[in-house]
Structure 1
Amino acid sequence: MPLTLPTMPRDGLRIGTFVKTASPQVVEILGLSRLDFAVIDAEHAPFDRTTLDLMMMASCAVGLPLAVRIPEVRSATVLSTLDIGAAGLLVPHVDTPAIARDVVAMTRHRGGVRGFSGSPRFARYGTLSMTQSLDAGAGAFVMCQIESAEAVANAAAIAAVDGVDGLFIGYADLALSMGLESPQAPAVTEAAEKVIAIGRAAGKTVGMFVANAAERDRFAARGVEWIVLGSDQSLLRQAADALVPTS
């Protein structure tokens, strides 16, 4: 049976969750749920290249698309993440259109700076021709995190970069960049609304992390389509708490 890499869904409301536990079994289990995708949080959780590779194997086994929130914007990091078969990238701290252009170039063989080998998973381990491999590597889903006041000011220019698929609002870091300590502060909400409007006007996917179903519904009603709700850790903790009577 040929290797099939899951691709990131692009149309309509899509719900995923962060994966912060370095276990491919977590991906297998989530693949049996109704989630549309998951995001491996390699920025804030301890994932090395070997573990990420195992997570991608599980992704292929259950057909659950995995994006990776990369820890840094470096060519080598982007290259290795896409070579192992990630369906997309969630890129932190994209504050300027120049950074966005650099990121897109790192994802592309044609017209970019991504190094080529036909042997990794994305190229079906050497079973594709070079042209087929280049085609397979051309569809990486790129979400740029807007998580600073500077990024909000540049959001329209970032959205206009060819190859950027969407804007992802990181409202915790956004609050900190504004000198605030609550993502629910009115100024943060106002900035998020601005980014949502910019993304929608540009025809780009707007994404956001939310903590619960009420936030999911509130932001979905405003046009946020790519929603990351909680994480494997929070889902496990909440399910465990629900087993214990409160009275």
Structure 2
Amino acid sequence: MTSSSHPFPVLARLRAGQPVFAATITTPSVEAAAHLANLGFHFLWIEMEHSPITLETLRVMVLGTRGLPAQVFARVPVIEYWTAKRVLDQGVTGVIFPFTTTPELSQRAADACHYPPLGRRGSGAGNAVRTWPEPGNYYDSADRNVAVMCVVEEAAALEHIDEICATPGVDIIFIGTSDLSFSLGLRGRQDAPELLEAIDKIAAAAQKHGKFLGRPAGNAAQVEAFQQKGFLLFQLPTEIGLMEAGARQLLDSVGISAPNPATRSQY
């Protein structure tokens, strides 16, 4: 079975050394999710930390994308057993954990996504069982195939990065470069030597312990450059960002200068 036809293409592609691309969903639009799931992205990054998307909307997104090529991952707002359990029980095939700053938090993330004796996930996954893409025993399949992604995005994590990356059951270390920059006092700057040094340190620890590496990327040139550094998983722009980019390109082609959303009046 090729990674493109695999029911869990993200881990299949990563294990084959192939890049993985996510479309980020920040609006509670099931139609947008369904369209993006069929455009070639490998998974949908459903943003539940920074958006108004609710658990009910997440479940409908899982239903609306059933049978389509892209997997559905959810970023939960905090690393707790119950936050992971609630999205997993709706049928997501990956969980993204923010602010993984200590080994205790990375272990909690791994435990939250695996059933005993591997972890501490509770067994009430009725909705997930009904929409799971692989036939057979759901619990065994989930333990094998749920992708666990820990986001490292605080300077304090650098003190523990080797232990964080050594955590069994964590598949992907994702570097949240914007928050990491803020945490380093750089106010979001992406070209500062301190940030680049921190990224290299995290990447080296992840590679040492056999974890896959992810980070945000905005264009093909960035993807190419980051792949040279060992990154394989990329969070691409949001549905709103993609809409704005497409609209700007079209308007520019007909001679209309589109306003910058960052400078537009809010009233």
SS in structure 2 of the partner of residue 243 of structure 1: helix
1:226 aligned onto 2:233: yes
Flag the 1:118–1:225 CA change in 2: closer, same or farther, 3 A. Answer: closer
Flag the 1:214–1:205 CA change in 2: closer, same or farther, 3 A. Answer: same
Following superposition, the deviation at residue 230 of structure 1 comes to 1.2
Following superposition, the deviation at residue 173 of structure 1 comes to 0.7
* 8 Å contact kept, 2:153–2:175: yes
Following superposition, the deviation at residue 107 of structure 1 comes to 1.4
1:137 aligned onto 2:142: yes
Partner amino acid for 1:109?
Y
CA distance, structure 1, for counterparts of residue 66 and residue 59 of structure 2? 11
1:20 aligned onto 2:26: yes
CA distance, structure 1, for counterparts of residue 97 and residue 72 of structure 2? 14
CA distance, structure 2, for counterparts of residue 117 and residue 226 of structure 1? 30
Partner amino acid for 1:215?
Q
Q: Match of 2:10?
A: 9
* 8 Å contact kept, 1:105–1:113: yes
Following superposition, the deviation at residue 8 of structure 1 comes to 4.8
Aligned runs of 1:81-120 on 2, under 5 Å? 81-111=87-117, 112-117=119-124, 119-120=126-127
| RMSD of Structure 2 on Structure 1 (CA) | 2.2
SS in structure 1 of the partner of residue 215 of structure 2: strand
Partner amino acid for 1:114?
R
Following superposition, the deviation at residue 76 of structure 1 comes to 1.8
Aligned runs of 1:197-216 on 2, under 5 Å? 197-216=204-223
Q: Match of 1:77?
A: 83
CA distance, structure 1, for counterparts of residue 220 and residue 229 of structure 2? 14
Question: Taking structure 1 as the reference length, what is the TM-score of the superposition?
Answer: 0.90
Alpha-carbon displacement from aligned partner over 1:118-144 (angstroms, at most 9, x marks no partner): 5222x2379x99x92321331321111
* 8 Å contact kept, 1:67–1:87: yes
Q: Match of 2:174?
A: 168
Question: Taking structure 2 as the reference length, what is the TM-score of the superposition?
Answer: 0.84
Following superposition, the deviation at residue 209 of structure 1 comes to 0.9
Q: Identity, % of aligned pairs? A: 27
SS in structure 1 of the partner of residue 226 of structure 2: helix
Q: Match of 1:196?
A: 203
Following superposition, the deviation at residue 80 of structure 1 comes to 1.1
Following superposition, the deviation at residue 6 of structure 1 comes to 4.4
CA distance, structure 2, for counterparts of residue 119 and residue 56 of structure 1? 14
Q: 1:150 aligns with which of 140, 156, 160?
A: 156
* 8 Å contact kept, 2:77–2:98: yes
CA distance, structure 1, for counterparts of residue 164 and residue 101 of structure 2? 8
CA distance, structure 2, for counterparts of residue 6 and residue 69 of structure 1? 20
* 8 Å contact kept, 2:94–2:148: yes
* 8 Å contact kept, 1:146–1:168: yes
* Matched pairs, number: 240
CA distance, structure 1, for counterparts of residue 61 and residue 177 of structure 2? 27
Partner amino acid for 2:236?
L
Structure 1 gap segments, 5+ residues each: none
Structure 2 gap segments, 5+ residues each: 1-5, 256-267
Following superposition, the deviation at residue 202 of structure 1 comes to 1.5
Which structure has more relative contact order (CA 8 Å, sep 6+)? It is 1
Alpha-carbon displacement from aligned partner over 1:147-190 (angstroms, at most 9, x marks no partner): 01121232221111110101100011101111111122121111
